[in-house]
Homo-oligomer: A and B are copies of this chain.
Amino acid sequence: MARKSGSSSEKTRPLVRAAALRLFAQGGYAAVSMRQIAAEVGVQAGALYRYTPDKQSLLFELMRVHMEELLVAWAEAAPQGTPLERLDAFVRFHIHHHMDRAEAVFISYMELRNLTPENFAVIEGMRAQYERVLEDILTDCGADTDGKLTTLAVLAMLTGVNTWYREGGRLDRAAVADSYVGLVRRLVSATA
């Protein structure tokens, strides 16, 4: 039997996550205090410890969930077709998924060094899994480039979009994705 809706635990928990996400992205993990997060949520600092054992776990959970969502979203998209079609699909998927989660993406790149070694290893493993997705596609494309190097080059290029793309700018989401599909196709084409 469900509880009466009086408890605000299931309301406050996501608020804590959202506040931490925003503030960590804005000011950096080390520069943001638990008191700032609490103020953003509208509670006192002590109340946060109902939802996280400590500040480190708060950061780790944000990054872990972000990476998990990324891997699950790709698995669910699961595009079929020729290798080049799957490459196009990956480029569009990566750009759109990352545009929609700018803060989580930012944190997941910038705050790696603020993870404990154990937590870092977990995130790195998930990142390696995602890199593998693109590497396999590139292998299937049969490009005559260095597979690992090209994988990292393409991912850096695609993720770099987040550093400059702003909604309402000169190019809309679809135009950006189209442009990068073109760029990546050239990258894997035979040498001119």
Contact = CB atoms under 8 A, between A and B. Distances in A.
Interface string A129-173: 000000000000000011001101111110111011000000100
A185 to B, nearest CB: 7
A187 B187 contact: yes
Interface string A74-85: 000000000000
A56 interface: no
A114 interface: yes
List the number of copies, as a whole number.
Answer: 2
Contacts of A31: 30, 114
Closest 6 pairs (CB-CB, A-B)? A156-B160, A189-B192, A30-B30, A30-B31, A157-B157, A153-B157
Given A145-B179, A153-B183, 20 more contacts: A27-B113, A28-B113, A110-B110, A145-B182, A146-B171, A150-B183, A152-B163, A153-B180, A155-B160, A156-B157, A156-B159, A156-B161, A160-B160, A185-B191, A185-B192, A186-B186, A186-B189, A186-B191, A190-B192, A192-B192
